[in-house]
C-alpha cells in the first residue's frame, strides 16, 4: 500500500505566506522559503503553494518564490493560483514546480486540462476544486475565484469530468471546513473516492491528530493538506505521522 501523504499548504500573497478562515481574514504567517525548509525538516511529503492573488506582476513574484524554494528543499512542489495557459504552467515548472494546480481556469476552459496533460503528462496536472455543500440540492457545489463565485457544477460530476480530461490528481477543499479545525468533511471524500480513481488530496478542517486518523481510516484519499495547525505550531508533521503509524496507517517516517 502506498504511503499516505501529509502536505502543508502555503497561501502566498505578494511573496508572503498568509492564512485565513473560510477564505477570508488573512494574516501574515512568514517567509515562504523559511517555512518550506522547516516543513521539509519535519518530514513533509510534499508542499502546495497557492498564489492567492492573480495579477501579472504577482505571477512573476510567485515564479521567483518557487525558484527560491526549489533551490532549498527537495520534496515535490505543487503550485497553483491564477494559471490560465500552458505557457504559465511551463514557466512555473521551469522555476522548479513539479505539479501545476488549476482551479477557476479549468472551469472556464476545461480544454486547458487536456492541453497541460498532453504537454507535461497527467502526473503534472492537479485540478483543485473548492466546494461547499448546498442544502437545497443536497449536493456539493463547485466555487471559483477563491471561493467567491458559485457555479452550477456538482463537485462529484466535475471531478469525474476533469479526470476524463487528463487530471492526474485532485486537490479538493471543503470551503465549509476551511480554517475551522473541526475535522475533514469525510462524507465529501467518501463520495469522491467512489467517483474517481486518481489520487485525492483532502483539504479543509484539520485540527487534531484524530482528524487525520479518521480521514485515512474512513476514506481512500492519499493526501491530507493542512495549513493553520502547522503554521501556528499546534501540531508538527512528525507528530501527525507518528500517530498515524501507531494506528496502522502507512506513512513515510
Q: Please state whether the predicted TM-score (pTM) of the whole model is above 0.85.
A: yes
CATH number for the region 5-246 comes to 3.20.20.70
pLDDT value of residue 60: 67
Q: How confident is the model at residue 204 (pLDDT cuts 50, 70, 90)?
A: very high
What's the pLDDT score for residue 82? 84
Q: Domain segments of the chain: what residues?
A: 5-246
Q: Catalytic positions, please?
A: 11, 130
pLDDT in tens, 166-178: 999 999 999 999 8
Q: What region does 6 belong to: left with phi over 0, alpha with psi -120 to 50, or beta?
A: beta
Contact in structure between 98 and 124 (CB atoms under 8 Å): yes
The pLDDT tens digits for 133-146 are 999 999 999 999 88
Q: What would the pLDDT profile of 122-135 be if each residue is shown by its tens digit? A: 999 999 999 999 99
Each residue's pLDDT tens digit, 212-221: 999 999 999 9
Mean pLDDT of the chain: 92
Indicate if the pLDDT at residue 104 is higher than 80: yes
Amino acid at each position: 500500500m502506498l504511503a499516505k501523504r501529509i502536505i502543508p499548504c502555503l497561501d502566498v500573497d505578494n511573496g508572503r505566506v498568509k492564512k485565513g478562515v473560510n477564505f477570508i481574514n488573512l494574516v501574515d504567517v512568514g517567509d515562504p522559503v523559511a517555512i518550506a525548509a522547516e516543513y521539509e525538516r519535519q518530514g513533509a511529503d510534499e508542499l502546495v503553494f497557492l498564489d492567492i492573488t492573480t495579477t501579472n506582476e504577482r505571477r512573476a513574484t510567485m515564479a521567483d518564490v518557487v525558484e527560491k524554494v526549489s533551490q532549498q528543499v527537495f520534496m515535490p512542489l505543487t503550485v497553483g493560483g491564477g494559471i490560465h495557459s500552458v505557457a504559465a504552467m511551463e514557466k512555473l515548472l521551469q522555476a522548479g514546480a513539479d505539479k501545476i494546480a488549476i482551479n477557476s481556469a479549468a472551469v472556464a476552459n476545461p480544454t486547458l486540462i487536456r492541453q497541460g496533460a498532453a504537454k507535461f503528462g497527467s502526473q503534472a496536472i492537479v485540478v483543485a476544486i473548492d466546494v461547499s455543500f448546498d442544502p437545497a440540492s443536497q449536493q456539493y457545489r463547485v466555487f471559483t475565484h477563491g471561493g467567491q463565485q458559485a457555479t452550477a457544477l456538482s463537485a462529484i460530476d466535475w471531478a469525474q469530468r476533469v479526470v476524463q480530461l487528463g487530471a492526474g490528481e485532485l486537490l479538493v477543499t471543503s470551503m465549509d471546513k476551511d480554517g475551522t479545525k473541526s475535522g475533514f468533511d469525510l462524507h465529501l471524500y467518501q463520495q469522491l473516492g467512489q467517483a474517481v480513481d486518481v489520487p485525492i488530496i483532502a483539504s479543509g478542517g484539520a485540527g487534531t491528530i484524530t482528524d487525520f486518523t479518521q480521514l485515512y481510516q474512513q476514506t481512500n484519499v492519499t493526501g491530507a493538506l493542512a495549513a493553520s495547525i502547522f503554521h501556528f505550531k499546534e501540531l508538527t508533521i512528525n507528530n501527525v505521522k507518528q500517530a498515524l503509524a501507531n494506528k496502522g496507517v502507512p506513512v513515510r517516517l
